[in-house]
């Protein structure tokens, strides 16, 4: 296959809380919500702000898990709170805030600096594919502009190869700034559509770990030529976490479709770079 057709896409769910899938970005958002609630106690009337203020991380884990089983009631509350925080901010200023957070904060459960939370096998696979003339992209439900900062630091993936959820943007006096409107939530069926929109090619390799990745995995194996779908199973309670919530449907589809399931406990000799 010519190099220009070798495209691989990776979901980037990253690190976890309370045996539930979450993004590094979730920690950033929760801290921002807690700060906003301290500054304006009226926000405590809203469940996401109250949970952030009280340190109730389980509320956010439940919102993500409920989303992956098809119930978006809590996720809509969460999204509304996120949009409330999304006052006009220049994209460069936002990137600086994200970079400062990522470089200084520690994972709340693993107690590791976030730059040390990247999965070593994921990095190794990225480098292997690049050495074999693949073009690799991060494709996730996480925020695109947040992940652009994190992906470059953690995985060596440049900003132009990050596809994700995004707020609206507008131009104001020489700067691009955010708006309090959701442009796209890049999850489920939106992922392959977004891949085509941003990349213009169907990937021949896709790596995911949740129900929100089913369509992306399916897309990579539905082309006219060969395709490979890898589903990561978070089953290592000793080195990371063991959970199935939010990935039940993906595991069932993997069995049905013959997708390759990669167990962290059995297939990964190394979890993190120490």
Please give the average pLDDT of every successive group of 10 residues along the chain, which has 274 residues: 75 44 76 95 96 92 83 91 87 95 89 90 94 95 92 92 94 94 93 96 94 95 92 93 87 97 96 86
Split into its structural domains, the chain has a count of: 1
Residue 14 confidence (pLDDT): 42
21 in any annotated domain: yes
Q: Give the DSSP letter string of the chain.
A: --GGG-EEEE-----EETTEE--HHHHHHHHHHHHHHHH-GGGGGSHHHHHHHHT-HHHHHHHHHHHHTT--HHHHHHHHHHHHH--S-BHHHHHHHHHHHHHH-B-TTT--BGGG-SBHHHHHHHHHHHHTT-EEEEEEEEEHHHHHHHHHHHH---GGGEEEEEEEEEEETTEEEEEEEEEE---TTHHHHHHHHHH-S--SEEEE-SGGGHHHHHHHTSSSS--EEEEEE-B-TTTS-B--TT-HHHHHHHHHHTPEEEEHHHH-S-SB--
Domain that holds residue 263: 3-267
- Model confidence, pTM: 0.87
Residue 3 confidence (pLDDT): 64
CATH at residue 135: 3.40.50.1000
Residue 42 confidence (pLDDT): 96
Residue 109 confidence (pLDDT): 82
273 in any annotated domain: no
274 in any annotated domain: no
pLDDT digits (tens, 9 = 90+) for 115-127: 998 899 999 999 9
272 in any annotated domain: no
């Amino acid at each position: 296959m010519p190099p220009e057709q070798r495209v691989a896409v990776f979901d980037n769910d990253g690190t976890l809380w309370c045996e539930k899938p979450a993004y590094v970005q979730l920690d950033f958002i929760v801290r921002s919500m807690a700060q906003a609630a301290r500054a304006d106690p009226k926000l405590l009337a809203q469940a996401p702000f109250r949970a952030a203020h009280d340190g109730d991380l389980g509320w956010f884990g439940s919102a993500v898990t409920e989303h992956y089983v098809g119930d978006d009631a809590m996720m809509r509350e969460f999204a509304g709170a996120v949009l409330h925080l999304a006052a006009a901010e220049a994209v460069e200023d936002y990137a600086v805030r994200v970079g400062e957070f990522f470089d200084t904060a520690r994972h709340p459960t693993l107690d590791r600096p976030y730059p040390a939370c990247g999965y070593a096998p994921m990095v190794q696979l990225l480098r292997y594919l690049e050495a074999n003339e693949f073009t690799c992209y991060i494709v996730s439900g996480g925020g695109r502009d947040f992940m652009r900062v994190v992906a470059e630091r953690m995985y060596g993936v440049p900003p132009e190869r990050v596809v994700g959820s995004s707020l609206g943007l507008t131009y104001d006096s020489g700067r691009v700034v955010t708006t309090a409107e959701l442009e796209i939530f890049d999850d489920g069926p939106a992922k392959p559509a977004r891949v085509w929109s941003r990349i213009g090619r169907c990937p021949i390799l896709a790596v995911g770990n949740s129900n929100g990745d089913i369509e992306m995995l399916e897309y990579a194996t539905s082309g006219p030529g060969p395709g490979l779908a890898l589903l990561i199973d978070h089953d290592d309670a000793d080195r990371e976490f063991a959970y199935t919530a939010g990935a039940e449907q993906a595991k069932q589809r993997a069995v049905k479709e013959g997708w390759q399931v990669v167990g962290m406990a059995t297939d990964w000799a190394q979890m993190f770079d120490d």
